[in-house]
Structure 1
Amino acid sequence: MENEYGNYLDDDKKLKEYGDKLAELRRNGVNKISELKQDIASLKRNKLIDSAARNARIAEDLRQIAEARVVAAKNKNEISILQKEAVAYANEIAGIYIRSVHDAQNKKIASLAEKYKNDIAAINTDFNRRREAIVKSYCGKTTLADRTAKKEALSINGYEHKAALFDAHSKYVSDVDRAKVAKNQAYVDRVQKNRSLRNGSPRFSENISLGWQNYVYQFKPSKFFLNNGLYLAIFVFFIVCIIVAPISGNGQLLTLPNIFTILEQASVRMFYALGVAGLILIAGTDLSIGRMVALGSVITGLILHPGKNIVTFFHLGAWDFTPLPVPARLALALVISIVFCVLFSCFAGVFSAKLRIHPFISTLATQLIIYGLLFFGTSGTPVGSIDAGIKDMLGGRWELGFLNGEFITFPKLIIPAVVAIFIAWFIWNKTTFGKNMYAVGGNSEAASVSGISVFWVTIGIFAMAGVFYGFGSFFEAFKANASAGTGQGYELDAIAACVVGGISFNGGIGKIGGAVIGVIIFTGLTYCLTFLGIDTNLQFVFKGLILIAAVALDSIKYLKRK
């Protein structure tokens, strides 16, 4: 790529010779194989070619690929040796050039800073001189017209002063940015040339180095603190808690058992955040999460209860599922929890997708319906604990042994949470449905024009949320006795975790990793405050401050993008 100094690597004669030799060695070998494979793929997609002709051409391409592989194998060692020599030489001359560019541009930036300082001083001097002249010209003039004219002249002078300062600053920033571009481009040219010499093959170390170089090039303190200020503040809060805990007599906070406990508490709530994250991505929300949790937990508790149930659901009699094998009971509880959560979630989704009712209203209605049905069906009675053996099998802990005098156990619930995170990440980042989610969230009208079915994408997101809620509510029953009141307020924690994790309420912006970090932050915050003996009611204050700060920062970033 050209910069103000020209592409120094392309101008080097010796490096050009290396490139020509490598191209010649690859021409009838690896390059020809790549071209022929592309031709075969194109032929398979082309519906206008006769089947017999297509098969004949593909057969000929395969024959030539076999010949090209012989050539590639013959030239492999020579290419490898020549490639290493070329890359080493490119790095040598690039290192010298990059240092010279950096020195030159750093001097240029310093001179620009000095010039900017002098320009500002000159602008301020001119402003003061003109202001004094205006005041002096109207000295002794006291009529209304004179006072109005004086005020207007001073106002114009002030406006012109601000405009001049703005222009000077813009020019300074623009010139400095050009100098930074020259520094960055010198390094980018080196990486691109190395990749070209390796026939397009990247190197992990180069990718890391280039990523860091681009980060430094684009780094701005204001942008950094806008994007990470909240996380820095929370990090400082955790550090303070770690320091204060032993001083206050509460013991060591930063221990492996405490970390595992935080992760265990975050594991189940992770499912709720992963579900609602998709709705927030399309500028929606979900107020029914807590009731979904209660629904699935009650179902799970009824099926996994040891012996006859104490609850008669809708007066249909006290069930006893113990005659069923344990795997069948687990599968039944999980499937029914997921099915009901998906049905209720899609019920809300249809109204939002078809009638454009905001998810706030449709999920609020769903919340009330589930709440009423559960309390009426169970009379508010807890369904009791689940079978102890089953509870330990999925919700217990593995014993790892002693470490520094402490007995360490690993929570089993962390495993399904990790699996859920990977699945959600895969859907968001590696599937067409995930790309459509971002498109609908960013601009649903543009997505519709481009051929994306906004209705089915929205329904799919609600259904996916229901699946995550179903799994989460299933595992929730392993933590405590389920009842119609289980999960109260969980929707607020899940939504807050996503927002703190950077999933924008404005839609189309966010990553699954953000939701994961948000859940861990909120769970860790609650655990730290409880560990320090902070009143439960005051914990809501801390959560509220973090939530409003996260939304405020998101709004500021959104306004800046506009």
Structure 2
Amino acid sequence: MSETKRSNRSSSIILEAVRNDLGLGVAFLVLFVGASILLGGTFFAWKNFSNVLRQLSTNMFLACGMTFVIMLGGIDLSVGSVIAMVGCFSAGFISYVGMPSGIAVLLAILIGVLIGFFNGFLAAFTTIPPFIITLSTMNICRGIARVYSNTKTITVSNEFFKSIASTYIGVLPIQVVYIIVVIAVSAVILNRTQLGRQILATGGNKQAAAYSGVNTKKITIFVFTFSGLLASLAAVIQASRLFSGTHTAGEGAEMDAIAAVVLGGTSMSGGSGSISGTVIGVFIIAIMNNVMNLYGIDSSWQYIVKGIVILIAVSIDYFRGLRQS
């Protein structure tokens, strides 16, 4: 009987995800077809697809973490700077300090996780808005990266460090495996655990969730710590892909993550959203960036386009909220 209930619940989750993300899937298909028409063989070249998969891994990590934060009704502006700081530390610990690469990577990731924990602790035990908290840590982490690296690129020649992001499984880059694992873990937490239900409840109505026995402070700390963990993992993978750590890494990455999450249907007011929507949002942003790069569109115009996409996504969320209310 319990197996039947679990099977029915899994089926209902899948059907609900398909129904909610149908419009987004159509938008992705239209973009894909449009890119194919505009760029033809250049877009369909396997080398291009492989590069897209390698590059979008960073945004996928950030967006999955950001989904949890926005579902909670918060925002995490520090993730881009965490990428720079953790990338510089992981490279510096190997090149400057001479640490074994495994220890260097783990220590750098731990520092990034502590930043996430700090954000969550302040958000949980004070009334300071998460926007202000993470805006502060965004500047602090970026500054630490600049000071530690002396505003220079820290190159790494360690083979293990390079292999983290340069390994291939057949013709697929290792980033595909990382992406699948992060999506799976995030989806399981959100859809199959009590923790996921408590995150949604806290984001929907924090006071009501507290009255029903949810420890909203622990939930807040977990969500921001999880975001810090994924940002730190993304930092190591990106630094490994570039064989270096640099203080400019991750600039604007938080905007791409927020765009993907909101485009994926997660409400900025909290309490609703899905990992499946975020995944489609990440692919839409990645293909959009790829098309603009291949088409030779100036980076200044790319910022404008991304801003318009975010504005459209937030407007859709706003009008959807009005309709539901």
TM-score for both structures, normalised by structure 1? 0.53
Which residue in the other structure is 1:555 paired with? 318
Aligned residue number for residue 450 of structure 1: 212
Per-residue CA distance 1:93-139 (angstroms, 9 max, x = gap): xxxxxxxxxxxxxxxxxxxxxxxxxxxxxxxxxxxxxxxxxxxxxxx
1:202-248 CA distances to partner (integer Å, 9 max, x unpaired)? 999xx79xx69xx9xxx9xxxx9xx76565445323322211224xx
Which consecutive segments of 4 or more residues in structure 1 shift more than 6 A?
200-204
The offset of 1:435, in angstroms, is 0.9
Alignment correspondent of 2:168: 398
State the distance in 2 between where 1:270 and 1:530 align.
Answer: 19
Task: Report the CA distance shift for 1:450/1:238 in structure 2 as closer, same or farther (over 3 A).
Answer: same
In the alignment, is the contact (CA less than 8 A) between 2:190 and 2:197 conserved in 1?
yes
Report the equivalent of 1:511.
274
Q: How does 1:75-224 map to 2 (within 5 A)?
A: none
1:276-355 maps to which residues of 2 (within 5 A)? Answer: 276-305=66-95, 309=96, 319-321=97-99, 324=100, 329-330=101-102, 332-355=103-126
| Partner residue in 1 for 2:59 | 269
Deviation digits for residues 532-561 of structure 1 (CA, Å, limit 9, x no counterpart): 222222222222222111111111111111
Query: Which residue of 1 is the match for residue 37 of structure 2?
Result: 243
**Aligned-residue CA RMSD (Å):** 2.7
Q: Which has the larger radius of gyration?
A: 1
TM-score after normalising by structure 2: 0.89
Deviation of the 1:355 alpha carbon: 1.3
Looking at structure 2, the residues matched to 343 and 235 of structure 1 have their Cα atoms a distance apart, in angstroms, of 39
Question: 1:395, 1:479 within 8 Å by CA — same for their partners in 2?
Answer: yes
Per-residue deviation at 1:371? 2.1
Distance 1:398 1:476 in 2: 15
Aligned residue in 1 for 2:145? 374
The one-letter amino acid paired with 2:308 is L
Shift of 1:397: 4.1
Question: Which residue identity is paired with 2:249?
Answer: T
In structure 1, the residue corresponding to 2:168 is in which secondary structure?
Answer: strand
Confirm whether residue 358 of structure 1 aligns to residue 129 of structure 2: yes
Structure 2 residues not aligned, in runs of 5+: none
Letter in 2 for 1:555: Y
- 1:452-531 to 2 correspondence within 5 Å? 452-480=214-242, 481-531=244-294
Q: Which has the higher contact order (CA 8 A, sep 6+)?
A: 2
Q: 1:424 to 1:203 in 2, by over 3 A?
A: closer
Task: Give, in angstroms, the shift of residue 393 of structure 1.
Answer: 2.4
- Aligned residue number for residue 385 of structure 1: 156
Specify every segment of 5 or more residues in structure 1 that has no aligned partner in the other structure, as ranges.
Answer: 1-33, 39-199, 310-318, 401-408
CA-to-aligned-CA distance 1:245-285 (integer Å, 9 cap, x gap)? 24xxxx43124332222112111221111111111001111
Matches within 5 A, 1:395-434: 395-398=165-168, 400=170, 409-434=171-196
Contact 2:28 2:280 in 1 (8 A): no
Q: 2-side partners of 1:398 and 1:286: how far apart?
A: 32
Aligned residue for 1:485, secondary structure, equals coil
Describe the SS at the equivalent of 2:127: coil
* Gap change, CA 1:399 and 1:417, over 3 Å in 2: closer
Work out the number of aligned pairs and report it: 318
